[in-house]
Structure 1
Amino acid sequence: MTEGAVPWWRRAPAAAHRTWVRHPRWSLATRGAVAAALAWLVGVVAPAPFSEYPYYAPLGAVIATTSTLARSVRESAQSVGALLLGAAIAIVVDTVLAPGVLSVALVVGVALLCSGWRVFGGQGAWVANSAIFVLVLGRGEDAEYVGAFAGLVLVGAAIGTAVNLLLPSLLLTPSGLALGGLRDALVEQLDDLAGWLDDQGPLDPEEWERRRHALSPTIEAARAAVAHSQEASRGNPRARRHGERARSQSREAHLLGTTAEVVDEVVRLLVGWEAAGRDDVAFGPRLRPELAAAVRALADALRPPADDAASDAAAASAADDPGARFVRAVDRLQAAVRESRQGSDDDHLVAGALVVALRRAADVLTG
């Protein structure tokens, strides 16, 4: 039965799940909404004076649920500490200065200085927020207000952490998509470079500098996505069921990160030494085809396998492995550089550096 013949109500759950895991922001919003609602209910039924300020409990829940499971406890503690420090600053200033412009300026100034302390991490802004709240809203009942404020935020953060524990997000799909995007970008870059080496003579410095810089955001996005996914795996009960997938992504991230560095180094060297007008080029007409073949082999080694990659023909011999073909291409390039050096007075230093860079990619591909 073709996909079009399957009733929509049977396809809808799978499609919804694919969309859900591709967009972790929806999961975050759901967890935050659930935690905030539960925290509000707890604040409403809490005894006085807590029940007079129930809206502070959802604040703590939001602080906790917008972090990964590993960070939620730490950031909750940091935010509560920042809140208490801000409240203390406001109380001290309120006891020595009358309400007015000077007291507000002093509270905000001191709070902003303290908000930069490393112990608060990314939660330092709560020092100033808390100081202003306590100075303006807690006047006359500082102790009661501060206790309710900090206590409800702490309770809300505990609820948010519990929701994170019950409904953790593993984030493997977004990081996998980011790695796939990086892989495709590297393959495209390598294919274009090989084609240029085959057909177009010296590299255009402006064109390839633009390409190098255009690749940087894709590299950084993939690194950030993988780092976030690895952090989300710490303490996550779902990580045990998806451990091999997470480890596979970690290996792929290392491979693609190293390859991206190699591609950048190759392009940088070629742009500097194969530009038009230079006499001391890195590769002449004799070596250039071997370099193009090695670059193209690297692109083939990175290229995602086709759907029928498990066929008997593809699995017949390890010699058919794209990684092995790339290693052989680098070996041929190295031999050609060595032979060319013996018959020439040129140092071939840049050619040797390019071989070393490509060898690094071969090591990580076959390691």
Structure 2
Amino acid sequence: MTAARRLASALHRAWLRHPRWSLALRGALAAALAWVVAVLAPAPFSEYPYYAPLGAVVATAGTLARSARESLQTVGSLLLGAGIALAADAVLEPGALSVALVVGVALLCAGWRVLGDMGVWVANSALFVLVLGQGQDAEYVGAFAGLVVVGAAIGMAVNLVLPPLPITPSDLALGALRDALVVQLDDLAGWLDDEGPLDADEWERRRHALHPTIEGARATVARAREASRGNPRARRHGERVRSQARRAEVLGTTAEVVDEVVRLLVGWEGTGRDDVALGPRLRPELATALRSFARALRDPEHAGDDGAAEDPGADFARSLDRLRDVVRDARTRSGDDHLVAGAFVVVLRRGQDVLTG
């Protein structure tokens, strides 16, 4: 591969990893087109060309499905804000009182559910019309709202031609989550083997430290899922989109399983307890099951020590069966119920089900 091709490949990978770059390109293109259209429009629209790029940026800031909804919400917010300003201007002289009244009413209306996140434009619009539209209210409002509508239409058209579909960032986020869960499982197993009972404070910190990775992956996958709605590119990448949805389901359930395992271990196998749930006999079996879980999560196939292909999912199932049998035997020998030890089997079985489902 030549240096030029390697550079092009590296740039393409970077482009896919950072959807903000394509967002910037779409926004810049839509804003420039909206500006040109506004400048060429007849008066009074051409006197306020900067409002057209505003509508374009709003429309290109989200996914294809969201851009249409948010454009309508933005236009509705602008018109509502303009109406509030016109009503205040009709009964009050310009000044602090009129500004306070307009902003107060606009902020109340901004919480209207139908406007969604675009409700923030109600107050902006009201202030623009109140302060900048003095003496030419009707003309200013018409140009302001009209240009934003035109800009939003151009932005939606650009999104339709260049629809965003951030699959690669979602893949990366899911990969990071999988790696974090594998590390957590391996560390838990190693701690049970080498250290015995868990240090509650240490593992509570680790448990909470995993939450940002979980939430980040969920948010990224949710954005990709939303971007695929009505997106023509989603049809070309249908298998990848479906595979990603499956991975998200598996890792989401796995994260819940790992969190519950840590919570049970901290609560019932902590260093401060005299009546631990597992003890020296059951701890190694749980550690083995956790390592098998980590392997099944990490690799669809795993080479065994003898070079033969080994199914990590089957190995995980066997380790769970072994843990169940050992818990049953301990219950029979001691006469204790070992309910918490059994709970580990139930929780981990849920992880096995989602991996093989």
Confirm or deny a common fold (TM above 0.5): yes
Task: Note if 1:156 corresponds to 2:151.
Answer: yes
Q: Give the TM-score of the pair, scaled to structure 2.
A: 0.97
Deviation at residue 168 of structure 1 after TM alignment: 1.1
User: How many percent of aligned residue pairs carry the same amino acid?
Assistant: 74
Match of 2:346 in 1: 356
Q: 1:141 aligns with which of 136, 139, 160?
A: 136
Residue of 309, 324, 333 corresponding to 2:314 = 324
1:117 aligned onto 2:112: yes
- Name the CA distance, whole Å, in 2 between partners of 1:34 and 1:338: 67
* 1:170 pairs with 2:170: no
Of 65, 72, 75, 1:77 maps to 72
**Partners of 2:186 and 2:294 within 8 A in 1:** yes
SS of the residue aligned with 2:281? coil
Q: Match of 1:338?
A: 328
Q: 1:217 aligns with which of 212, 215, 218?
A: 212
Q: Distance in 2 between matches of 1:302 and 1:279?
A: 33
Deviation at 1:54, TM superposition (A): 0.7
In 2, distance between residues paired with 1:304 and 1:245? 18
Residue 58 and residue 277 in structure 1: after superposition, are their counterparts in 2 closer, same or farther (change >3 A)?
A: closer
For residues 1-367 of structure 1, the aligned pairs below 5 Å read 6-304=1-299, 313-314=308-309, 320-367=310-357
Deviations 1:62-90 (A, max 9, x none): 00000100100000000000000000000
Q: Secondary structure at the match of 1:54?
A: coil
> If the length of structure 1 is used for normalisation, what is the TM-score?
0.94
TM superposition shift of 1:353? 1.3
C-alpha distance in structure 2 between counterparts of 1:307 and 1:135, whole Å: 68
Question: For the Cα contact (< 8 Å) 1:198–1:292, is it kept in 2?
Answer: yes
Report the alpha carbon displacement of residue 305 of structure 1 after superposing the two structures with TM. 5.3
Contiguous gaps of at least 5 residues in structure 2 = none
SS of structure 2 residue aligned to 1:343: helix
1:3 matched to which residue of 2?
Answer: none
CA contact (8 A) 1:40 1:54 kept: yes
Classify 1:192/1:22 alpha carbon distance in 2 versus 1 (closer, same or farther; 3 Å).
Answer: same
Which amino acid counterpart does residue 200 of structure 1 have in structure 2? Answer: E
Contact 2:16 2:169 in 1 (8 A): yes
In 1, the alpha carbon distance for the partners of 2:229 and 2:270 equals 48
- Alpha-carbon distance between aligned partners in 2 of 1:121 and 1:308, rounded to the nearest angstrom: 52
Contact 1:32 1:61 in 2 (8 A): yes
Decide which moves more: 29-38 or 335-344: 335-344
> Structure 2: how far apart are the matches of 1:255 and 1:305?
13
Asked whether the equivalents of residues 91 and 135 of structure 1 are also in contact (C-alpha less than 8 Å), the reply is yes
Shift of 1:280: 2.1
Counterpart code for 2:52: A
Shift of 1:327: 1.1
Asked if the contact 1:172/1:246 (under 8 Å) is kept, the reply is: yes
- The question of whether the paired residues in 2 share the 8 Å contact of 1:57 and 1:152 is answered with yes
Quick check: 276-285 or 35-44, which moved more? Answer: 276-285
SS of corresponding position for 1:287? helix
What is the CA-CA distance between 1:7 and the residue it aligns to? Answer: 2.6
Letter in 2 for 1:341: R
Shift of 1:282: 1.1
Query: 2:147 is matched by which residue type in structure 1?
Result: L
Amino acid aligned to 2:253: T
Q: Give the residue type in structure 1 aligned to 2:240.
A: R
Letter in 2 for 1:192: D
Larger CA deviation: 287-296 vs 275-284? 275-284
The letter of the residue matching 1:351 is A
Structure 1, unpaired ranges of 5+ = 1-5, 315-319
In the alignment of these two chains, the number of paired residues is: 355
Contact 1:324-1:366 at 8 Å conserved across structures: no
